[in-house]
Every structure is written in structure tokens, then in C-alpha cells.
Structure 1
Amino acid sequence: MKQMSFYTLLFSAVLSMAACSKSNNTTTTPPEKKDTVINTGFKTLDYLYSISGKKTLSGIHNREPNATPARWTEEIKNTTGKYPALWSGDFLFQADNINNRQIMIDEAVRQWNKGAVINLMWHACNPANTQPCGWDDGKGVQSRLTNEQWTELCTDGTVLNGKWKVMMDEVCVYLQQLEDKGVEVLWRPLHEMNQGVFWWGGRSGPDGTRKLWQLMRDYMTKTKGLSNLIWVWDIQDFPSLANDVSGYNPGAAYFDMVALDIYDDGSGYSQSKYEAMVKAAAGKPMAIGECQRLPTAAELRNQSRWVFFMGWSELTFSKNSTAEINNLYSADNIITLDKMPGWK
């Protein structure tokens, strides 16, 4: 064995001390410069850091029913001959989909074992009402909370706060299953928090939606002890975006990466949206959390900090031609499942 020099030993020691480890109480540290090697304690997050500015993962969401949690992933394979690198599922809110959460979680495990990035979200029922629930704005996902109910929800020890924790407990059971199997999760709850149509959204400022996000992260990580979650703070591309990245920001200690849902096809993948998210990310990975019109490979070369895009299920096929989908999935700056490194 070749003897190590003093400088080699010193360099190794510095690298060892500089490595960041996963913690329930702290968030990941962004790189100081582009070629810095990051060790967050998450294989997934390390990989996203490594491709940022270089390549973009392909992804698609698998919306309800949870009885067929890979339907749209398979449709991409049928269309392009390739599987997307990111698989996404949802805990959902209807009776049948709540009852089939285990099927969705089992699919997440299969996808992880195949080397995919796992993204999960939760269209949760309004805790002021009952679950299961519907989509409508009466008592479902799109219903509203009064200001008094919101304060109660965000106050420990109240009835409404307790109901929300019971709902989180039900989801944590499945997230714990994933942790026990070594599955890391891009966890994107309270998505589109600047979207006022959802009961959790549209409340800017320190006592608004970001307060509920902080409560949720603290509860799931500190109280429930989950350590396999990569917290993805997500907003939508409204004209108010430049202000929303500040008004809804939960604080650097409360998110590991950022995502923007792009549904305004008129402004599309504008440079102003991209630059707003670069500023919000503050060096952490950033992604296109949802979209209906897919970005082109050229747009992703120009906006190279997007580490993944996630097409929204059926909209991927109604808003993009087969040729457009194939051109994107075959581009050299797009990563499909066959190009993933695997998690073993």
C-alpha cells in the first residue's frame, strides 16, 4: 500500500469534516460552488445536486385511482419506449383511494428498487370537515377555513390541530414503511401553497400557509421521527410569483429543495419565472413540480438548474403531441430511468 502524504491526510480530514449529515432538525446545505461534492445523507438529494446545471430528470405523476399507481408511467413507456426517471403518487382523499394507499406505497417501493426517484404528494381533506371527502368547494379539498379555524389549526393542543395530527399520523404510517425499506421520498405536501383554491393555500405571511408547513415538518420529523423525507417547497406560476417566493417561503431550515408548478402556458417557461426560483432556491435544487405543456430540451438547456420536470398524468398527452414527447425523452440532456445510477 502506498504511504499517504501529510497533505493527502489533511485534505481527507477536511473533506470528512465538511460533509453534511441528514438531520431531523436541520436542512441540507447548498454547495458553495458548482463543482462541490455534496453529502446530504440522502442518495436522491446528492444525485439531484450532482446533475443541477447539467441534466434534467424526466418524470410523470400517476393520479387517481391508487388501484393503478403506475398507469401514466406505463403510458410514457408505451409512447417513448423509455420509462421516466421520476415516479410520483398521491395519498389522495376519496374513500377508494384512501383504502388503496397501500397499493400506491407498494408501487413506490417497486419504482425505487428499479432506480427511480420517488415523489409523493397529498391532496388532503379539510381537517375542519370529514374524510374521506370530495373535490368540490363545499366540504372537500377545495373547501375553505375561516380565519378563526386557521388559527385553531395552527395552534398546538386545539381540537382542530389534533384532528390534523391524526390525519398526518395516518400518512406517516406509510411513510414509515418506506423508511423501513430504505426508500427516500421527495415529499411535496401543501403543494401550490400560493393557490387559494385549496383549503391550505392562499395565505401569505408568517401566520399563513408557511406556518402550517413548518408545523407539518416539525411534527413529521421531530415528533414522528421520519428521516427519509426530502422536503420540496412548491408554489405555482401566478403573476404574483416575484412576491410569492418571499411571502410563502417557510425558511431555509424548513425545505430541502424548491419546485414551481407551471400551468400558465401563455407565459410558459419564462426567464423571469426561472430567475425568481433560482433566487428562492438559494443554491438548493429546483424543479418543475407539475406541468401540462412539457418544456423542450432547448428550454431545459437554457434553464439548466431545473433538476426534474413532472408532467401531470393525462394532461401530458392532451397538451403535447407524440412527437414533442418523444423529442424530449430522447434528448441528450434528459435522464430517463435506463440512465439512472440505481440506489444500491
Structure 2
Amino acid sequence: MPSRFVVYALVTLLLTLAAAAPAAIQPADGDLIPEARALLDYLQSVYGKKTLSGTWGPGIASYVQEASGRLPAIVAFDLTGWNSPTWGKTYTPVVERTIEHAKAWHARGGIVAFQFHWKHPMNPSGTSWRDRPKNSPRYDLAKAAQVGTPEHKAFMDDLARHADYLQKLADARIPILWRPFHEIDGGWFWWTDHTHPENTAALWRIMFDYLVKQRKLHNLIWVFNCGLKTTLKREAPPEEHTAFRKRYYPGPQYVDIAGIDIYPNSYYGWGKNEEESYPKAFQIMQEVAPGKMQAMCECGTFLNVQKMAAEGPRWLYVLQWFEGDAGWARTCYAHPQVLTLEDVPAPSGRAVPAVVRIDSPPDGLAPVAGDLAFDVRAMAKGAPVARVELRLLKGGWHNWFLMDEEKKGEALKESTLLCEAKASGRLVWKDAPPGLHQVVAQAFDGKGNATLSNSVRLRVGLTNLAGGKTATASSKAEKAQAALDDSLFTAWSSDKKDAEWLCVDLGSVRTVSAVTLFWAKANAKAYRVEVAPEANKWSEVHSETRSRGGLETVSFPPAKARYVRLAGVKRGTEWGGYTLYDLGVYESLPK
């Protein structure tokens, strides 16, 4: 028989271990499918230790991959179809495509999140915004929460139709971080009741009961989300703002995760995303939703990861809404505090494709011609990696992150295999010729699944006479230098006028015979290229009337020039000016 001391020691050890291991979260939906339960457990396992990365939509995720080499762990989609009228011929296809994109992200092993810019349930031509279009009728939330009213019927009918699409994800057993009524207290959306927040909270509970108890959608992890401000006067004491936020909270039994959206706003005391980790916001949400994991549900760009790691708070996840600075993305997504897609464990019993990235050379490098080495890392998340290929895209540089998967697939069919290996390592492109080239890696697993890396754009064996020189412009002159720097993510963007120009001073008279233009979406339909040996003595060397954007190479007879000017004639879009990533000037280019 063990002594009393041994028994006491064992009991003490067990109690210590029990205290050290956090209790499993009790989900809002007690009937969560195993896949959603596993995701919730994973989130709990990293909370307070690491921070998951996230982006709004596949487009921003693709940008982050191009900029940093890494994909985010979470991609957020939107259940709305955006277009009017609601459920019209241009609304429904958008929702259907979104569901397919969410399925594709899940198939890659990513975490799927959804917010819902829910359009006014009683106005098919309305929006999610409270006062848009102008003079839109207000939606009575008290009546919406009251069974038997037209407002309630409209709420339930529209919710039911959208739930049919959530059902498709439930049928596919895809867990969702579900964030309805986002920025619930901000006041700009129709679902915020400024006077009686309890009506908004009641609608949350009605939605929960319908989706979970009636529709049996047991794949939803419920995320409650406040905005950067409340509808109270800014001067009200902080405790009043927090108390007001609490009135929107539907109750802990209806929420799994809480969070806030913060965009820089000095008026309300929020600094730049890149400089802050927002401990004040974290504390506010802990008071509003005590005991819940806290997330930065939206921010413009990634928060200051160094502060998060050193001082906290360590948000559960940070979801980036805009593209932001490419260098900042590289810093954040490579930081050991941040978890990306390659860190998310593959779901039990389900194989997902490998993750692959090119670590070097960096995008935009200008190496000499000859043998070029690429450091490629491929990570298995299911079946082992069987092969890694390095491929050269046809046609020089592309806006790879703006291309959808179908267009990327078409580009790969026309690409050239440079070399291959059986695993990660250094792959060498032998005898790379001079030119503007774009290279991408592709990893294959033993089951034939293929995934793509970030791409790398190179200016091989060429001397760009405009690189780093002085630029001037007809508008947005402070951004003109961005078209001459080493980054192909920065750009000069003009005002929304046709007659805009960008000029480079080469510093001295040079012989030039070629110019390259690398456009963003807002390109020129028509433009001129002009040169001058001295100020204001311009000669036209090229006129273009049918530009298609992307990368354009303009060749002309050799001319003496100190100044080279791109003169816009006609914009290619109605919504933008001219946006140019890179202006290159050369003595000559290889044919």
C-alpha cells in the first residue's frame, strides 16, 4: 500500500497538470461536427502563444504570397453577392463562385472564414450600409426581432436563402469561422441599433437558433466582432463606451471567439497598423466578452508583429484587409510569432497538397546572365513531396497575384521547364539569357497534386538606365520615384485624367533605343514615348493606341536623350488614372 506521502504527491502532481492544461472550450454549438471541433481545439492550442495570419479574399492572399513567399493560414470570404437586385442574375453567381473558392481554399488545407455584408433584407436595391443608397428607408430592428412582422419575415426569408449556401459548406464538412453582423456597434451598417443595442443582440440569437437548431449547420464557429468606435460621442468616458458595446453582446453561450476591427484613425485614437499591437483594444474586448479568445478580425495591414511578440497582446489571429507594403509583409509573415498556411497541421485523415516557396533570389533582382540559383522549399502536408519543378513563364513579367487559378494554369501550360529536383533545395537555371524573366516553382506530391510557389521577376543581364534616377510627374509627384525603384510592388499612380505624364532624368545624355513599361490594372490604352537631350526639347519616338497593359516593350531607332517621358493619351479604365510599377530605359534590348 502506498504511503500517505506518495498519495499526496500524486494528487498534487495531478492537480498541477490539470491546472497547467487549459480546459477544452465549450463551443456555442454543442453539436459541432468533429472537423469544426478539431479546428476550435487547434485555435485554443495556439492562443496566447502564436498568432495566425489571415487575409480578406484569395486576391490579398495571393498578393501576400507574392510579397512574402508564404500564404496566410486563414482566408475570409463574404456570403453576399454584392450586386443589385438581391438574388438577381448578377447576385447569385457571385455567391456561387464564393462558395467554390472557399471549398478550394479548404482543399489546400487553409482555414475558411466568412463575414456577411448582408444587404438590406427589405430593399433588393439596398446595401449593407445604413444610409446607402441615399434616402434608403431605415430597417426597424425591433420589428425585425418580432415574430409576425413584415420586417421579421424579410429577415428570415433572406437568411434562409443565404443559409442554403452555408449548407453546401456544411455538406462538404468544412468548418467556418462565421462572423455575422461584423463591426456590430459601429453604426454604419443597418444591423446596428443605435438606441436599443439589445435589438441587435436579439437578432444575433435569432440567427443562431435558426442556423444551428433549425438548419442543423453544425460547422459554424461563431465570431462576435466590434468596430473601432461606438455610436456614442467620442468624448464619453471609456467605461461608457465599453458598457455600450456590452449591450450588443448576445451572451457567452452564443459566441466562440470575440474580436475587433481596427483601421488607423487618429480621431478615435488608433495609430497605424504597422506601429501598433493595440493592447487597449484587446482589453476592451476582454471586458465585453470575458473568457473568449480574442482576434483582430480586420485591419488594413498586418499589425506590428515585433510588439505583439515582445509586449503582447498575442491576438488569436490578425486578418489583413488590404495589400499594404510588400517589405512589411515579408517581415511579418516570416516572423516566428506568426503562423502561416505551412504551419497549419493537415486535418486528420485528409491529405492536402504540399506548400512550396522560393526563398531566393528576391523578386526584382538584376543579376548578370549565366547560371542562376534558386533556393526552393517544398513542405509536405499529406503525401510526401515527389518532385519540384522550376518553370519560366512566357512573355516576361506578369502580375501573377492578379491572375486567378485558371489563368495561372493556362500560363503554366505555356511555360518552359528549367530544371527539377526530388525535394527542396537549390535548383539552378543554366545559362539564363539576358531579358526580363519570371520564374515560378511547382511542387508535386505522390498523389499527383500540384501547388505553386510565389513567382520571382528578374532583370537578367540588363542595365536599366532609369533605375534609381530622378523621376517627376504631372500628378502624385511624391509617388513618381516608385516606378524607378527596385520593387515591382510599388507604383506611380496618377490622377484620374488622360493627359498625365511621368518623366525620368537619366543624369546625362545617353543613347537609348528601348523602353519597358510594367502596368498595374489601371493601364494606358493610348500613350506616347518621348525623349529629349535637354529640357523641353521633346521628340516622339513611339505612339501606342492599342495598349493591353501588363509588360510592354517599346523599341525605336537609337536616340540621344537625357530625359525620357511617358505621356498618357487615353486611360484604359474609367475608375483609375495610370498606375505603373516600373519604367525601364535601355541602350538596347535583346530581340
Tell me by how many angstroms 1:202 deviates: 4.3
Question: Residue 165 of structure 1: which of 149, 156, 167 is its match?
Answer: 156
Where do 5+ consecutive residues of structure 1 fail to align?
A: 1-6, 29-38, 63-69
1:145 pairs with one of 133, 138, 144 = 138
Q: Distance in 2 between matches of 1:141 and 1:290?
A: 27
Question: Which protein is richer in helix relative to its size?
Answer: 1
Question: Any gaps of 5 or more consecutive residues in structure 2?
Answer: 1-9, 85-89, 272-276, 349-591
1:44 aligns with 2:33: no
Report what 1:87 is aligned to: 75
Task: Give the SS at the match of 1:288.
Answer: strand
For the Cα contact (< 8 Å) 1:53–1:306, is it kept in 2?
yes
Mapped partners of 1:143, 1:231: distance in 2: 30
Select the residue among 310, 323, 337 that pairs with 1:316: 323
CA shift in 2, pair 1:196/1:337, >3 Å: same
> Shift in Å at residue 220 of structure 1?
1.1
Aligned residue type for 1:84: P
CA 97–58 in structure 1, closer or farther in 2 if over 3 Å, else same:
farther
Residues 58 and 339 of structure 1: CA distance in aligned 2, closer, same or farther (over 3 Å): same
The Cα RMSD (Å) is: 3.0
* Deviation by residue 1:67-126 (Cα, 9 ceiling, x = unmatched): xxx222111111111111101111223143442211111111121122211110111111
| Contact 1:136/1:142 (<8 A) preserved | no
Q: Does residue 1:330 correspond to 2:338, yes or no?
A: no
1:272-324 deviation per Cα after TM superposition (whole angstroms, max 9, x unaligned): 22211223332221100110142111232222441101111xx332xxx2211
When structure 1 is superposed on structure 2, of 91-100 and 225-234 the one drifting more is 91-100
Q: 1:141 to 1:175 in 2, by over 3 A?
A: farther
Residue 103 of structure 1 is matched in structure 2 by: 97
> Which residue number corresponds to residue 253 of structure 1?
253
Find the partner of 2:55 among 43, 52, 60. 60
CA apart distance, 1:150: 2.2
Partner of 1:78: 66
Change (3 A) 1:189 1:83: same
Q: TM-score, normalised by structure 1?
A: 0.80
Identify which of structures 1 and 2 has the higher relative contact order when contacts are C-alpha pairs closer than 8 Å and 6+ apart.
Answer: 1
Fraction of identical pairs, as percent: 26
Q: Distance in 2 between matches of 1:136 and 1:205?
A: 18
Q: Using structure 2 for the length normalisation, give the TM-score.
A: 0.48
Alignment match, 2:315 = 306
**Cα offset for 1:263?**
1.4
Whichever structure has more strand as a proportion of its residues is: 2
Asked whether the 8 Å contact 1:114–1:342 carries over to 2, the reply is no
Greater CA radius of gyration, 1 or 2? Answer: 2
Task: Assess if the C-alpha contact under 8 Å between 2:25 and 2:41 holds in 1.
Answer: no
Retained in 1: the 8 A contact 2:120–2:128?
no
Q: How does 1:217-296 map to 2 (within 5 A)?
A: 217-238=208-229, 241-266=241-266, 267-268=270-271, 269-296=277-304
Q: Which amino acid aligns with 2:305?
A: A
In structure 1, C-alpha distance between the alignment counterparts of 2:146 and 2:128, rounded to whole Å: 26
Q: What SS does structure 2 have at the residue aligned with 1:172?
A: helix
Instruction: Name the counterpart of 2:383.
Output: none
Identify if the C-alpha distance between structure 1 residues 143 and 119 changes in structure 2 by more than 3 Å, giving closer, same or farther.
farther
